[in-house]
Amino acid sequence: MANSNVTLRAYRDGLHLIIRPHLSITEVEEAIQQEISRMNQPLGGASVQIDLKGPTLKPEEMAYLKSKLQETYNLQVRGIETVEEPVQPPIAAAPTTHTLPQQTDPQPPRDTDPSRIIPYTIRSGQIEDYPQGSLVIYGDVNSGGEVRAGGDIVVLGSLRGNAHAGLNNRPSAVIIAMELVPVQLQIGNFINRGPMNQKPRGYPEIARVGVEDVIIIEKFVKF
């Protein structure tokens, strides 16, 4: 059963540890232990961002938690962010005099996508396929290897093989890698083939579908 106090989720920029408000440090420690045990995957050496949903821990408790994550689970905290929970607007007492235009064929928000973590390198001849959501790979995708996902693809290493994000024609998906030197990229129905003997540029890059319906590759900073 998923933990209601602490949630460990994989997003396109890596792992996020989401902590609910108004918890004691003891409750947070117990919830983290349960959540990591529930995942049943090796996470050692990964980085994690802590997302605090409102007032939760004091500065000295946060310092203790960072040390605990590193010493006990070998997780590196890359940042801490406090996010206030949105307040739901009250229900209108009477109907308004205008209507909002309805969106056609809306894309599902990324935060609702399920994610699958691959804690190893994808080797030549190996295929990882996850049409239900996004893939986060703790390793490389070697030449001759292939990864396919219904959502985004994030490679925390070198992408030298093939990657197909946005299966079932989802052109809003992206592909991110620390070194992006692929044989072929595909996002939805759009394809980009890498040049021969391409060299890494020394910084993370993101591939996405641009306004002219072609895949563009640019330096990845953040969304």
- DSSP class of residue 110 equals G
Q: Is 1 helix (H, G, I), strand (E, B) or coil?
A: coil
Beta-bridged to residue 176, according to DSSP, are 154, 206
- Phi, then psi, of 129 in degrees rounded to 5: -125, 125
Name, in order, each residue with C-beta under 8 angstroms of 127's C-beta and a sequence gap of 6 or more: 145, 146, 147, 148
User: pLDDT by residue (tens digit) across 184-212?
Assistant: 999 999 998 877 677 888 899 999 998 77
CATH 2.160.20.70 maps onto the chain at 114-219
Global pTM? 0.54
Counting beta carbons within 10 angstroms of the beta carbon of residue 53, is it exposed (0 to 12), middle (13 to 18) or buried (19 or more)?
A: middle
CA 157 centroid distance within chain? 14
Which pLDDT score, from 0 to 100, does residue 89 have?
Answer: 44
Helices (H) and strands (E) in the chain, counts: 2, 15
- Least Cα distance to 130 among 153, 142, 112, 148 occurs for 148
CA–CA gap between residue 108 and residue 172 (Å, rounded):
10
- When pLDDT is averaged across residues 22-42 and rounded to a whole number, the result is 80
Which pLDDT score, from 0 to 100, does residue 121 have?
Answer: 95
CATH 3.30.750.50 maps onto the chain at 6-82
Specify the CATH number of the domain 114-219. Answer: 2.160.20.70
pLDDT for residue 94 is more than 70? no
pLDDT grade for 42, boundaries at 50, 70 and 90: low
Q: Write the class of the CATH domain 6-82.
A: alpha beta
User: pLDDT by residue (tens digit) across 129-179?
Assistant: 999 999 999 999 999 999 999 999 999 999 999 999 999 889 999 999 999
